[in-house]
Amino acid sequence: MAREIPTAFAIGEALRIAMETDPDVILMGEDVAGGGTRPDGTDEAGGILGTTRGLVKQFPDRVLDTPISEMALLGSAVGAAVTGLRPVVELMFMDFIGVCLDPLLNQAAKFRYMFGGKARVPLTVRTVTGAGMQAAAQHSQSLYWITTGIPGLKTVIASNAGDAKGLLLAAIRCDDPVVVCEPKSILFLSSEVPEGDYEVPIGKAKLVREGGDVSLVGMGGTVNTALQAAMQLEQDGVHADVLDLRSLQPLDEEAILTTLGKTGRLVVIDEATPRCSVASDVAALCVDKGFDLLNAPVKRVTAPFCPVPFSRVLEEAYIPSPQRVIEAVRELL
């Protein structure tokens, strides 16, 4: 019967498979080893959330703890990627992109184009996103809209353990720089994860629920929010399609327009703040190429336009809830 493991384990499994199948794959980051190979025989931490635990013992020379120097971490990873390695960088929390955006924005994303197609940048950046652990304003942001908006980068985000494994394997083997977001809300949830080596193609969304009355489009943790909303809506006889974007750039426009074509009504749920968001892109797609399919406004259920508050009550109110999705759907019917 199907094997269910937490997303964090599935990610570790993907990393091990990638390293076993390609000697050029290395891991770099703060405390990705965190002990383990030390003379004093201490046990390793395997990253702040333990995701990489066990890897340094198996690949002592290819799991590299770095100083707290993200600019050098990202920048040297880009340099390593264009010269023959296939680095997988752990940027502990995506909030830290503020100290190391340039290597992504102006280097990794642009080399291939600026150099007339002569460069390959097989770089993967894994990074934890999202709220829900009362980690407050600087450790809880969903900043994937920034990397999504940069031409030359690809950005993916899984909603379950199985996709997290397959997307990460695809990202590592992709010759373009890929940012792989790991939402806090799914890291410790268990779900079915196939054994062995497989890839989930980058750029393909997945219809995870068949309805027909309304389309709920989610990404990462908000796919579960959408599914919960869909189940409650079902009880009132509203049948919802739920589309898991999985890839934020490239965006699977065809899949979005297909479900919109079925339902004529769409709500997009995004844990990020609303301005310049993936949610806005989905809505803009609907009112452009999907205009003739629309029977109602396109609603965006996102975080409010404010920093992530510490207080438990406020953080709960901050994160998009099934209730808010249901209310949005009600406005469309």
Partner 1 sequence: MELTYEMILGAYRTMRMIRSFEEKLIELVTLGKMSGFLHVYMGEEAVATGVCMHLKDPDYAASTHRGHGHCIAKGVDVRGMLAELFGRQTGTCKGKGGSMHIADLEKGMLGANGIVGAGIPLATGAALTAKLKKTGGVAVAFFGDGASNQGAFHESLNLAAIWKLPVVYVVENNGWGEFTPTEFVVPVKDIAERAKSYAMASAIADGMDFFDVQAKAADAIARARRGDGPTLLECKTYRFAGHYVGDGLAYRPKAAADAWIQERDPIRLFIDRVLAEKTLTTDDLERVDGEVTRHIADAVKAAEEAPEPTVDDLLRDVYAEPR
Ligand X SMILES: Cc1ncc(C[n+]2csc(CCOP(=O)(O)OP(=O)(O)O)c2C)c(N)n1
Q: Is 106 in the site for a copy of itself (CB under 8 A)?
A: yes
Residue 90 makes contact with ligand X by CB under 6 A: no
For residue 328, state whether it binds partner 1 (rule: CB under 8 A).
Answer: no
Query: What character string, x for contact with partner 1 (CB under 8 A) and - otherwise, covers 191-220?
Result: -----------xx-----------------
Whether 139 is catalytic: yes
In the chain, alpha helices (H) = 7-21, 55-58, 70-81, 102, 111-114, 144-148, 161-173, 184-187, 221-235, 253-263, 278-288, 312-318, 322-332
Question: What are the structure tokens assigned to 285, written together?
Answer: 């797609």
Q: Which region, judged by CB under 8 A, interacts with partner 1, from 4-12, 148-156, 279-287, 319-327?
A: 148-156
Between 10 and 78, whose beta carbon lies closer to a copy of itself?
A: 78
DSSP string, 166-212: HHHHHHHH-SS-EEEEEEHHHHT-EEE--SS---PPTT--EEEE--S
Q: What are phi and psi of 190, to 5 degrees?
A: -95, 140
Neighbouring-strand partners of residue 215: 241, 266
Interaction between residue 29 and partner 1 (CB under 8 A)? no
User: Does residue 57 contact residue 36 with C-beta atoms inside 8 Å?
Assistant: yes
* Residues within window 146-165 making contact with a copy of itself, judged by CB under 8 A: 146, 148-152
Comparing CA positions, the residue from 111, 68, 61, 108 lying closest to residue 92 is 68
Q: Which is nearer to a copy of itself, 59 or 145 (CB)?
A: 145
Q: Which of the residues 244 through 273 are near partner 1 (CB under 8 A)?
A: 250
Which one of 53, 110, 139, 300 is the catalytic residue?
139
Distance CA 310, CA 306 (A): 12
Stretch that binds ligand X, among 16-24, 91-99, 192-200, 218-226 (CB under 6 A): 91-99
Instruction: Report if residue 317 touches partner 1, rule: CB under 8 A.
Output: yes
Does residue 96 interact with ligand X by CB under 6 A? yes
Q: Which stretch binds partner 1 (CB under 8 A): 34-42, 160-168, 275-283, 322-330?
A: 34-42
Residues recognised as catalytic: 139
